[in-house]
Amino acid sequence: MNYPSLFSPLQIGPYQLKHRLALAPLTRMRAEKPSLAPRPLNAEYYAQRATPGGLLIAEASPVMATGFGSPGVPGIYTEQQIAGWREVVDAVHAKGGVIFLQLWHVGRVSHSSFQPGGVLPVAPSAVAIADLKTGTADGKAVPYETPRALETSEIPEVVDAYRQAAKNALTAGFDGVEIHGANGYLIEQFLQSHTNLRTDQYGGSIENRTRFLMEVTEAVAEVWGASRVGLRLSPYGIANGSGEPDPMPLYSHVVQSLNPLGLAYLHFIEPRSSGAGRAEVNHQNVPSAMVLFRPIWKGVLITAGGFTGETANAAIAAGHADAIAFGRIFISNPDLPRRLQRGFPLTPYNRATFYGGDVAGYTDYPAHDELAQA
């Protein structure tokens, strides 16, 4: 067997996993329109990637109608969306897999054309994403708008939306949820000093900037129990205009604040991956999130970003991480665990079919056929 560390069992919360190779949460923009509910095609996609005792983290799903910034992404706030996700979950459970749902609000990474009533997107502060363009709902490339700063009185409503989305995910039959606190979206906008210019209890000090994340995490944990809640962070990420000048003080505080909660896991995006579906970033002189934060974090640690079977196995063997989430090569290799374990060749991915569309580049990547190979 190849990669014995990667293919050893792992306990995550109440779940005994049979291996440590997870599907990373991947935006694919293939939900039903206009309901933005998952459809049978999505259930097929996840079922293809499910293995007995393997963890899948389903794609980021907005917790409320203001949380969207892309077309065709599934939500988790209507009955129709819950029903669509239930079909996905049932298909994964039929294969013996474990599936968590990632809860999302994009904040300023949106455009008024996606917002109910065509209003401006919301954010911690009225700071636009500079030097990047976004797509409108009808596909035009335009500069980002300056978002509207949330009133202090509105913040509990957003926390409540996460709480309700957590309940909806429970109704849909998921095994747990992951809170998206990475990649320049709403939670990270509250965390980082250049996007959070607030002067109330949610801004200023590191402790105040962490408050929104902690309130969301505690609300979701009330629904699920902390042992079935994960959180994703990208301390050195550069996605969607994110980036803290000195990430260590902020993220050390975040990790230490989370420790007492007893979460299922913490999930890092390594700095060598942009986290925004774009090409690899420059590998030179970038730190390793798992190495930096492993000494601080007391629980299960998952990390993601450009791993191969070789590097994933090494990271686990060295004790830097407990599991590795794979994205792009899991897209093009639905049977990725089997291929790595048995040394079968990998199918290259086609970046042009990552987002939107239908079957092509989604469910039409074949599993490895040993007979044909022979």
What is the residue whose two structure tokens read 């996007």?
A: 195
Report the alpha-carbon distance of residue 349 to residue 2 in Å, rounded.
Answer: 22
DSSP string, 60-93: EEESSGGG--STT---SSSHHHHHHHHHHHHHHH
- Give the 3-state secondary structure of 122-174: EECCCCCCCCCEEECCCCCEEECCCCEECCHHHHHHHHHHHHHHHHHHHHCCC
Report the alpha-carbon distance of residue 42 to residue 136 in Å, rounded.
Answer: 24
Catalytic residue, chosen from 185, 202, 362, 365, is 185
**First-to-last CA distance in the chain?**
19
Residue 151's Cβ-count burial label (10 Å; 0-12, 13-18, 19+) is exposed
Task: Answer whether 38's CB lies under 8 Å from 88's CB.
Answer: yes
Report the alpha-carbon distance of residue 290 to residue 295 in Å, rounded.
Answer: 9
For the four alpha carbons of 302, 107, 100 and 358, in that order, the dihedral sign comes to negative
Cis peptide before 337 (omega within 30 of 0): no
Angstrom distances, CA of residue 168 to CA of 12, 82, 179, 228: 22, 6, 14, 14
Would you call 185 a catalytic residue per the annotation?
Answer: yes
Which active-site residues does the annotation give?
185
